[in-house]
Amino acid sequence: MSTEIRLPLIGEKFPSFEAITTQGVKKIPEDYKGKWFVLFSHPADFTPVCTTEFYGFQKRYEDFKKLNCELIGLSIDQVFSHIKWTEWIKENLNEEIKFPIIADDTGKIACMLGMLHPAKGTNTVRAVFIVDPNGILRAVLYYPQELGRNLDEILRMVKGLQTSDKYDVAIPANWPNNEIIGDKVIIPPASSEAEKENRLKKAKAGEIECKDWWFCYKKV
């Protein structure tokens, strides 16, 4: 039997595992059934860039929760290090980290999820996994250790994926501030001649807007 580890792919079930966290043992994704979650790794506790990221994630935590989305941090530090670091953030930056942080001190989870990139050192890279309420992996991001993440983009991704699911639409670049259609969303292209003609009729009736029959959009 092959022992090769294959990284999880978009559209697949997120791998199941138990983890020790700052809020006790968590079974992922099972404990988050019915919720979205963002699992993100950081290279190490008590490092400047990671500190700015955790501060920023916590500042947006309520925004994520309004989207029925939880946050889960991870690094290969031990749990006491996570606890001490979050104490430091609270005491020195006046921000309490309220989401759990996985203590993956064996590196097992990091290996499973492809968070260890040898060319970038022995710590985890800045990985991001966005998982939906059914435990399906919807998006993956990898950042090098030297580049901090754009946390507003991660929040935008969750909003965009939820909007796409709800209205069966696609999300344009830089949404909701797209340079062509603003905060509108894209209707999937017509898949038949009949659908194409029906779409053009809807555009003439003002039900939707189109640049052409294959580029139609609407407000939601």
Rounded CA gap, 42 and 19, in Å?
A: 16
Tell how strand 137-143 and strand 17-21 pair up. unpaired
Identify the burial level of 58 via C-beta atoms within 10 angstroms of its C-beta, where 0-12 means exposed, 13-18 middle and 19 or more buried.
buried
From edge to edge, which strands make up the β-sheet containing 137-143? 24-28, 17-21, 101-103, 69-75, 36-41, 126-131, 137-143
Q: Do 53 and 95 meet the contact criterion of CB atoms below 8 Å apart?
A: no
- Could you confirm whether 50 is annotated as catalytic? yes
Consecutive H or E run containing 193 = helix 193-204
Exactly one of 50, 69, 210, 216 is catalytic; name it. 50
Judged by DSSP in three states, 90 sits in helix
* Residue from 138, 121, 176 nearest 8 by CA: 138
Q: Do 5 and 19 meet the contact criterion of CB atoms below 8 Å apart?
A: no
Q: Would you name the residues annotated as active-site residues?
A: 50
